[in-house]
Amino acid sequence: MMRDFLRTASVLLVLLALVGCAPQAARREPGTRPTTTQRPENTVRAEFTRLEQRFGARLGVHALDTGSGEIVTHRADERWAFCSTMKTFTAAAVLRRNTVEDLDRRITYTRADLVPYSPVTERHVDSGMTLREVLRAALRVSDNTAQNLLLRELGGPEGLQRELRELGDTTSHVDRYEPELNEAEPGDVRDTSTPRALAANLREVVLGDALAPEKRKILRGAMRNPPLTEELVQAGMPEGWEIEDKSGAGKYATRNDIAVLYPPERDPIVLVVMTSKSDEDAEYDDALVAEAARTTLDMLE
């Protein structure tokens, strides 16, 4: 009996030792960033190539589940014209440079400053608008004159370029004002970026510490459920999720959406979708952006 007892005790000691030596990766410390993992390349390529063939377009995707660290990526280092998605980072840069009190400063401009698609600023030429109102017009309804007024606050496109470099973005090129930046000519690096770079920028300004909490709240509030993007990433996300995003469109069927998604009971997902076609006058497809988002989110489940 004593021999059996000793044998059992020895087995228990070995098992306890093995448990103590178990890998620590599964027990990540609270508050630390997860190690990023990437979906098998062949599987991802096949899914997104199918969408490219179906819509006759080029598709770029970069997504990060900030909780699990899982990444889904396709053509993430290729360039697209960023179009109006850059309004997000223009607004963030203006917020960084100004105090919250400064947002009540009135911005004046003339009718000569108006450019095509300026539904808010064109109504306030005589009275001007506060900096806060200009910022919301750029983000909520993608007002182009509002974007140019924000760029003027930064010293022009070169000022925004410097802000992006300070953010750690060495990829994006910021060169022109609205609406010229939407020309999107293939091979022209002016006013272009990549899905990976925009995703990193978006994570910094919306989820990171690039902005003080009160300023970050202002940015996120202006990006929450905007009316112009319902057929884009919003259309591809599950019911009950929240979204903060900014879309963009240009020639060569350029259609983009950069988004932070908030699933219930999960950490946020950063998702960038960029699309284009080879014909300058081709129509863009909102459905392609929505399908790309749906496919990406299915992979992250």
Question: What 3-state DSSP class applies to 260?
Answer: strand
- Report the distance separating Cα 246 and Cα 66, nearest Å: 19
Of the candidates 41, 158, 166, 180, the residue annotated as catalytic is 180
Nearest to 36 by CA among 234, 200, 255: 200
Paired tokens of 26: 């599964």
Q: Are 211 and 168 in contact (CB under 8 A)?
A: no
Nearest to 111 by CA among 123, 96, 103, 98: 123
Of the candidates 84, 118, 172, 193, the residue annotated as catalytic is 84
Nearest to 167 by CA among 271, 98, 93: 93
Paired tokens of 280: 């300058």
Q: Is 84 a catalytic residue?
A: yes
The one-letter code for the residue type at 258 is I
Q: Under 8 Å CB-to-CB from 32, ≥6 apart: which residues?
A: none
Secondary structure of 27-78 in HEC code, one letter for each residue: CCCCCCCCCCEECCHHHHHHHHHHHHHHHCCEEEEEEEECCCCEEEEECCCC
The one-letter code for the residue type at 186 is P
Which residue numbers are catalytic? Answer: 84, 180
